[in-house]
Structure 1
Amino acid sequence: MSGFQVMLNETQTKELQRYIFELTNEAVQQAIHNAGTDKEFLNQKEMSSWVGVSSNTLRSYVDEGMPMIVIGGRNLYSKKEVSKFLLSRQK
């Protein structure tokens, strides 16, 4: 495979760097959004995954006092409040 070189002046180099940075930033932001990590509230399945425990374990945490919001029959969990709850149990 033969290579080739592209010669850019300083302005073109800076513009290319800016363009690559913008593309990378957009891709990272989209990945964060797609992963759901930008959401403040998670459903039970998402929260179980976020904490790294099973749904049954998450329910037992609720029985122990972990905050949960019920809206229209759906259980939602605040990442901030769940973090506080878990850290309060730190030994």
Structure 2
Amino acid sequence: MNTIQIVLTDEQLDTLQQNVYVTVSNAISQARKDTALEKRYLRKKEACAYLGISNNTLDKWIELGFPRIVIDRTLLFDKQAMDDWLMNQA
């Protein structure tokens, strides 16, 4: 089996990693925008689906300061605030 080895400088590797991160982040953001969830405020189950995570993971994130809104015992999540929080975690 033939192999090809590509040698990159540290600067080239950093640039490549940054470009991949931005491309993937943009693709995820666009995919979320394209979902059927067009409303801004989501209930917990909808938030889990929007984020692609389990209920348990969301509970752990809430303990870490994940943004949420509680109105008369109703738990809601703002998509904009969730996206901002996630971007700040990176």
Structure 2: 5+ residue stretches without partners = 1-33
Deviations 1:64-87 (A, max 9, x none): 011100112111000000001111
The CA distance in 2 between the partners of 1:74 and 1:55, in whole Å, is 16
Any runs of at least 4 consecutive aligned residues in structure 1 with deviations exceeding 2 A, and if so which? none
Q: TM-score, normalised by structure 1?
A: 0.58
Cα RMSD, aligned residues only: 1.3
Q: Which amino acid aligns with 1:43?
A: R
Give the match's secondary structure for 2:75.
strand
Count of residue pairs the alignment pairs up: 56
Q: Do structure 1's residue 77 and structure 2's residue 88 form an aligned pair?
A: no
The CA distance in 2 between the partners of 1:48 and 1:38, in whole Å, is 15
Which one has a bigger Cα radius of gyration?
1
What's the CA shift for 1:45?
0.1
